[in-house]
A and B are shown apart, each in its own frame.
Chain A
Amino acid sequence: MTHNTQRVLLELLHISDPTLPIGGYSHSNGLETYIQQKVVKDVDTTREFVQNMLIYNYKYNDGLFVRDAFKYGTEQNLEALLKLDNESHALKTPMELRDGSLKLGMRLLKIYVRLHDYELMHSFFKKVKNKETPGHYAIVFGMITALLGAEIKLVLSAFYYNAAVNMVTNSVKMVPLGQMDGQEILYNMHDLIATLVNDTLTLDEEMRGLCNPAFDIRCMQHETLYSRLYMS
């Protein structure tokens, strides 16, 4: 293993670490609604939720935005990143989903502007601070990992893995499930993540930003749930 491979691996482990203090654990993205409505209630329904979120929601939305932000980050194309950021904002119809992504994006930026002096990232951060661009998590994640010199397939794997861990951790707490059940669900997502990475790179552009009606509705309903532990 070269020194650079090891450095990039550590960078990816760091940025996709679920304990990174950006607040990933406080967003359920509609899962809390599903659980209160007793639709997600055991191992099988949790697996279905995690799987479907990855296949139908993440892949056509945030996964795709990571892919494109990575490309524009590599090209040092700030204008394209800003346009992509705005598109991501326009596609997120449920307010809590949109706000959650903005919070994660801002916190991720705040960590990395202290760690690296990439000009592109600092320019983007300035635009977010000046409210000239929203600053969504997937855009920030894609841009930073490109600047770190990572490889796109590994970046997407890390991104999807991080999303899966957050969903599983929240399910273990809320459904609730046993720790072992959670680990089994997560471990068995590996093949799916590998497939998703390849799919993301060869996606049919027509499906860009695909709408997931029932997921969106559960996120919107979360705003008025009687009791809420999570921010979305």
Chain B
Amino acid sequence: MGQYSIETGLYQERTILKDTYFTPPFNVVEIREDKTNPLMEVMIMSSSPGFFNLDDYKIEINVKTDTLLNLQTQSYQRVYDTPDGARQEMKVIIEEDAYFSHVPHPSVPHKGAIFESKNNINLAKNSVLIWGEILACGRKLNGESFAFTKYSSLTEIYREGKLFYKDNLYLKPSAVDFKTLGQYETFTYQANFVSIDPFHSAKDRMAFISTVLAEEEDILFGVSQLSEDACALRVLGNSGEQLFSALKKIQKQLDKHANALRKKEIELKLV
């Protein structure tokens, strides 16, 4: 079983890696270039090319009060032929006034893959979450479109203990015809993105997200409001790289805002 855990801390108003623990194949590396940035950027490196049979990963992230974390992955997450399945469980706690941003690389389930992942995210008062996920139909260029056995990703987001958003991305090609109306139709990739940010109105954020996506061709997308301060995006497309770079573009901008906002707050405190 591979696992990693990250706990942030605050040192002179900047977010630092307070506590981290990892076992093979993982390594946790801080990659923040501008050390004056309050937002800490961390990359999860993995010596494994992906999930193999019976792999079971556990991830725990604790974003402490007043800290800002952007967690990145290194490459596409492949799930190989896994006749007995592979699993991943991620638990995230975002404390008060903390910021967590995570848009991992697309998941690519190969022929025969059985994968199950659970994401449990807990937000406190005034916590911000920027969250994305992308799923590929498989190794399309090798003729492996929807050739995996089962892919399931259940995401539950709680705000102050109450379930706020739930998404069950569950694909079993033997049970559901993905080409059919209402499912993937003519597309082969799916991306989901959620923004929960009490410091920005959902309407403004939706307008920004729509502008970014409107520049892309050969996709189908929709943005909708979840509450006054939260919105969700769903996209269908035919290129993982395209969807990943679009979500990254949105994330980068939102991270930049959060960074600037926190910098201003710190300056005000110091005056």
Question: Is the pair B183, A56 in contact by a Cβ cutoff of 8 Å?
Answer: yes
Question: Is the pair A45, B181 in contact by a Cβ cutoff of 8 Å?
Answer: yes
**A215–B220 Cα gap in the complex (Å)?**
11
Question: Is the pair A93, B234 in contact by a Cβ cutoff of 8 Å?
Answer: yes
Main secondary structure of the interface of B (DSSP, over half): strand
Please give the distance in Å from A230's CB to the nearest CB on chain B: 16
List of B residues within 8 angstroms of A96 by Cβ:
224
Question: Is the pair B183, A213 in contact by a Cβ cutoff of 8 Å?
Answer: yes
Q: A207-B170, A220-B223 are in contact. Are A90 and B181 (CB under 8 A)?
A: no
Question: Is the pair B222, A219 in contact by a Cβ cutoff of 8 Å?
Answer: yes
Q: What number of residue pairs across chains A and B have CB atoms under 8 A from each other? A: 92
Residues of chain A from 176 to 232 with CB closer than 8 A to chain B in the complex: 206-221, 223
**A210–B183 Cα gap in the complex (Å)?**
11
Of chain B, the residue at the smallest CB distance from A221 is B222
Residues of chain A from 142 to 167 with CB closer than 8 A to chain B in the complex: none
Q: A48-B181, A214-B184, A215-B182 are in contact. Are A86 and B168 (CB under 8 A)?
A: no
**A59–B226 Cα gap in the complex (Å)?**
23
List of A residues within 8 angstroms of B184 by Cβ:
213-214
A87 lies within 8 A of chain B by Cβ = yes
**A210–B162 Cα gap in the complex (Å)?**
20
Question: Is the pair B182, A94 in contact by a Cβ cutoff of 8 Å?
Answer: no
Interface centre among B157, B176, B184, B187 (most CB of A within 10 A): B176
B165 lies within 8 A of chain A by Cβ = yes
B164 lies within 8 A of chain A by Cβ = yes
A77 lies within 8 A of chain B by Cβ = no
List of B residues within 8 angstroms of A9 by Cβ:
none
Residues of chain B from 188 to 202 with CB closer than 8 A to chain A in the complex: 190
Please give the distance in Å from B154's CB to the nearest CB on chain A: 8
A57 lies within 8 A of chain B by Cβ = yes
A10 lies within 8 A of chain B by Cβ = no
Question: Is the pair A57, B167 in contact by a Cβ cutoff of 8 Å?
Answer: no
**A57–B176 Cα gap in the complex (Å)?**
12
Question: Is the pair A211, B169 in contact by a Cβ cutoff of 8 Å?
Answer: yes
Question: Is the pair B170, A95 in contact by a Cβ cutoff of 8 Å?
Answer: no
Residues of chain B from 93 to 144 with CB closer than 8 A to chain A in the complex: none
Question: Is the pair B185, A214 in contact by a Cβ cutoff of 8 Å?
Answer: yes
Please give the distance in Å from A40's CB to the nearest CB on chain B: 8
B76 lies within 8 A of chain A by Cβ = no
Please give the distance in Å from B1's CB to the nearest CB on chain A: 22
Q: A49-B181, A52-B181, A56-B176 are in contact. Are A217 and B163 (CB under 8 A)?
A: no
A20 lies within 8 A of chain B by Cβ = no
Question: Is the pair B168, A211 in contact by a Cβ cutoff of 8 Å?
Answer: yes
List of B residues within 8 angstroms of A34 by Cβ:
181
Interface centre among B168, B169, B222 (most CB of A within 10 A): B222
Question: Is the pair A206, B170 in contact by a Cβ cutoff of 8 Å?
Answer: yes
Question: Is the pair A214, B181 in contact by a Cβ cutoff of 8 Å?
Answer: yes
Main secondary structure of the interface of A (DSSP, over half): helix
Contact of A213 among B163, B164, B236 (CB under 8 A): B236
Contact of A218 among B165, B170, B222, B232 (CB under 8 A): B222
Question: Is the pair A214, B232 in contact by a Cβ cutoff of 8 Å?
Answer: no
Q: A95-B224, A207-B170, A214-B220 are in contact. Are A52 and B180 (CB under 8 A)?
A: yes
Contact of B168 among A95, A209, A215 (CB under 8 A): A209
**A213–B178 Cα gap in the complex (Å)?**
10
Q: A93-B167, A207-B170 are in contact. Are A217 and B183 (CB under 8 A)?
A: no
List of B residues within 8 angstroms of A211 by Cβ:
167-170
List of A residues within 8 angstroms of B181 by Cβ:
34, 39-40, 45, 48-49, 52, 214
Please give the distance in Å from A214's CB to the nearest CB on chain B: 5
Given contacts A214-B183, A217-B221, 13 further A-B contacts (CB under 8 A): A52-B180, A86-B163, A90-B156, A90-B157, A90-B164, A96-B224, A206-B170, A208-B168, A209-B166, A209-B168, A211-B168, A219-B224, A223-B224
22 residue pairs from A and B, CB less than 8 Å apart:
A49-B181, A52-B182, A56-B176, A56-B180, A57-B182, A86-B163, A87-B163, A90-B157, A91-B166, A93-B167, A93-B232, A207-B172, A208-B168, A209-B166, A210-B170, A212-B182, A212-B183, A213-B190, A213-B234, A217-B222, A217-B235, A219-B222
Q: List chain B positions with a Cβ less than 8 A from chain A.
A: 152, 156-157, 162-170, 172, 176, 180-185, 187, 190, 220-226, 232, 234-236
Q: Which 8 A-B pairs have the closest CB atoms?
A: A220-B222, A217-B222, A215-B182, A90-B166, A220-B224, A209-B168, A52-B182, A95-B224
